[in-house]
Amino acid sequence: MNSTLDEIGFPKPTFISANGVELEVYEAGRQNTGKPIVLCHGWPEHAFSWRFQIPALVKAGYHVMVPNQRGFGNSSAPSETTAYDIAQLTGDLVALLDHYGYKKATFIGHDWGANIVWGLALLHPTRVNKVINLALPYQQRGEKPWIELMEEVFGGDHYFVHFNRQLGVADAILDENKAQFLRNLFRKNVPLAPPEPGMLMMNLARAEKPLGEPIMSESELAVFVSAFQTSGFTGGINWYRNLDRNWHLLSDANPIIPHPTLMIYGTQDMIPQSESLQDFVPNVEVVSLDCGHWIQQEKPEETNQAILQWLKQQNE
């Protein structure tokens, strides 16, 4: 893992105390102090997911901070499930800004990281300058808690529901098959097919022959495998186990996000594009790239171009 990070010039990690936990943070471009940008990974990922964006953003004049969020990498992984709710996860990002002396920053999130960035804009709007999110559009708060609604619509085998209703089952299977699960998950050009019976993520962990093509080299994949050998999967899965709690925590938040926002979709992603995005994020611009879910890793140059072009349009 370390040799791969060294070979590509990935920043060395530092550890900061933030919001009652220790965060492993990869920082680059300190010479660009005053133009902060924070990159937030998804599940099951790592700060390394942003390896292609960090040098491009530094070159463009940004001070880049990329935390392994709580439960990932060598950051703290509290044992209490409620330690991973939206208040705690956004609190970590606020504390990160405080550590570096910033009142606000531009935040870029992918997948679950995008969900945290949406939540940050709701709960701490004055700490957010601009929003750039990949894959996961804004999820408006409906009349029913999210897991309760998903269980009604998708059933108990949907992995969001399964994570919540069968505690520890998926964690154990993913932990037993770390390398195989991650190898099978990080794929592109996966042929469309009806979902198999059972829970998707456990099926992936057990599948001996992955579909599609890998999005990364074996040495890059080894970085993720090594990280999850350290952290295990439970901390990250606990993010899912707080979705209904988050629904309650966001009850009093203004649901409109006024910040300038860029939303980047992958046209082959299983996550559908939002038809109501502009209703809740009125200052949003949408870009679609011809790729699957792992947008910034599958299409790094196109992702960088979309981000930098939009930031330039915002007079940054």
Positions marked catalytic = 111, 293
**Calpha distance 69→73 (Å, rounded):** 8
**Calpha distance 110→53 (Å, rounded):** 12
Q: 204 to each of 166, 216, 292, 304, how far by Cα in Å?
A: 18, 17, 16, 30
Q: How many CA atoms lie within 13 A of 56 on its CB side?
A: 17
Q: How many helices (DSSP H) and strands (DSSP E) are in the chain?
A: 15, 10
List the beta strands (DSSP E) in 5-86.
Answer: 13-18, 21-28, 36-40, 63-68
The pair of three-digit structure tokens given for residue 26, joined into one six-digit string: 């990869």
**Calpha distance 114→232 (Å, rounded):** 22
DSSP assignment, residue 194?
A: P
- 241 Cβ partners below 8 Å, 6+ apart? 81, 84, 163, 164, 167
